[in-house]
Amino acid sequence: MGAYSYFLKGGVFANAETANLLILALNIAEGDLDGAVAVLIPISTFFIGSFFSQMFIEKLKSKWITILLAAEITLLLFLSLLPSDTPYTVYHVVIALISSMQFNSFREARGVALSTLFCTAHLRGFGSSLYTAISTKDRKILKRSFYHGGLILTFVTGGVLCALLGSILGTFSIAVSTLPLLFVLQEVIRKEKIQLA
């Protein structure tokens, strides 16, 4: 989503607010108020999404993940169908909202803290856990380091695919990102049925 909003929708990382905060600071320093306001929109939306997703997590418990994934898929398909002259702000707001709820909801997998949006912590985790695994010969820590490495590889692969597909499919390329989400949604629903049985 970040590659999509950056490459195709105005040079804004709608999902990565650290980069946007830096862009905000630079725009303010250069006196570019229009640029500052433009980047402040996804920052604010991300904050609002984090606030409300925490409320949904607490109130809806395990049902929240299913609702979130279905909403993400629907919103991404909605973005893919918008006319090409739709203002970039619409894309930035929707992507920031989706990203904030995803970031707040998916915090770990298989006992490993994770982020589906950012890789700095995964680079650190990959390097430090790989060293620890080698020095202690601990297979569990080695496995953890490979989770971090896999997340980095997945992130980079998604960016490459977005750049390649964006030049072919244009705005519709965001619809491709629903494919892994559909798989995850199907797995979540399957596990819910097993737990209910």
Domains of the chain, by residue range, sit at 2-196
pLDDT means per 10 residues, the chain with 197 residues, are 83 82 94 91 92 91 88 94 92 91 80 76 91 95 91 88 87 89 91 77
Which pLDDT value is given to residue 8?
Answer: 85
Which pLDDT value is given to residue 138?
Answer: 94
Which pLDDT value is given to residue 197?
Answer: 63
Reduced 3-state DSSP string for the chain: CHHHHHHHCCCCCCCCHHHHHHHHHHHHHCCCHHHHHHHHHHHHHHHHHHHHHHHHHHHHCCHHHHHHHHHHHHHHHHHHHCCCCCCHHHHHHHHHHHHHHHHHHCCEECCEECCCCCCHHHHHHHHHHHHHHHHHCCHHHHHHHHHHHHHHHHHHHHHHHHHHHHHHHHHHHHHHHHHHHHHHHHHHHHHHHHHHC
